[in-house]
Amino acid sequence: MAQAELHFLRARLQGGKLNKAKKGELRFPLPVGYCYDDQSRIIVDPDEEVRGAVGLVFQRFRETGSAFAVVQRFAADALRFPTRAYGGAWDGKIVWGRLTHSRVLGLLKNPSYAGMYVFGRYQYRREISPEGEIRKRMHAVAMPDWRVRLSQHHEGYITVDDFFNNQERLQKNRTNGPDTMLSGPVREGLALLQGLLVCGTCGRALSVRYQGNGGLYPIYQCNALRREGLATKDCMNFRCDRLDTVIAEEALQALQPAQLELALAALRELESRDHAIHHQWQMRLERAEYEAALAERRYQEVDPSNRLVAGTLERRWNEALLQVEEVKHQAADGLRREARVATAEQHAQVLALAKDLPRVWHAPTTQAKDRKRMLRLLIKDITVEKAPQQKTLVAHIRWQGGACTDHRVELPPNRADAVRYPAAIVDRVRELASRVVDAGIADQFNRDGQTSATGKPYTTKMIQWIRVRHRIPPPTLKTAEELTVHQVATRFGVSDHVVYYWIDRRLLHARRLNGGMPYWITLDVSTEQQLRAWVRNSSRIQPGHASQNPPDGGAV
pLDDT tens column, 465-485 = 888 888 887 766 666 777 888
Predicted confidence at residue 101, as pLDDT, reads 92
The predicted model scores a pTM of: 0.56
Which three-class secondary structure state does DSSP give residue 236?
Answer: strand
List residues bridging with 222 in a β-sheet.
236
CB-CB contact of 186 with 369 (8 Å):
yes
Helix axes 368-378, 240-255, angle to 10 degrees: 60
Q: Which residues of 100-130 are buried (b: 16+ CB within 10 A; e: fewer)?
A: eeebbeebbbbbbbbbbbbbebeeeeeeeee
d(CA 325, CA 335): 15
- The stretches of 65-146 forming alpha helices (DSSP H) are 67-76, 101-109
List residues bridging with 509 in a β-sheet.
522
Mean pLDDT computed over every residue of the chain: 81
Helix (H) or strand (E) holding 166: helix 160-173
**Is the confidence at residue 60, as pLDDT, over 60?**
yes
| Mean per-residue pLDDT, 260-266 | 60
Model confidence band, residue 545 (pLDDT cutoffs 50, 70, 90): very low
User: Residue 200: phi, psi to the nearest 5?
Assistant: -75, -10
Q: Is CATH 3.90.1750.20 what the domain over 19-176 is classified as, yes or no?
A: yes
Model confidence band, residue 551 (pLDDT cutoffs 50, 70, 90): very low
Percent of the chain whose predicted confidence (pLDDT) is above 70: 84
List residues bridging with 198 in a β-sheet.
205, 383
Predicted confidence at residue 92, as pLDDT, reads 78
User: What are the residue boundaries of the structural domains of the chain, listed by start?
Assistant: 19-176, 186-412, 417-469, 485-553
Model confidence band, residue 104 (pLDDT cutoffs 50, 70, 90): very high
**Is the confidence at residue 194, as pLDDT, over 80?**
yes
**Is the confidence at residue 108, as pLDDT, over 90?**
yes
| Mean per-residue pLDDT, 405-410 | 86
| Mean per-residue pLDDT, 160-167 | 91
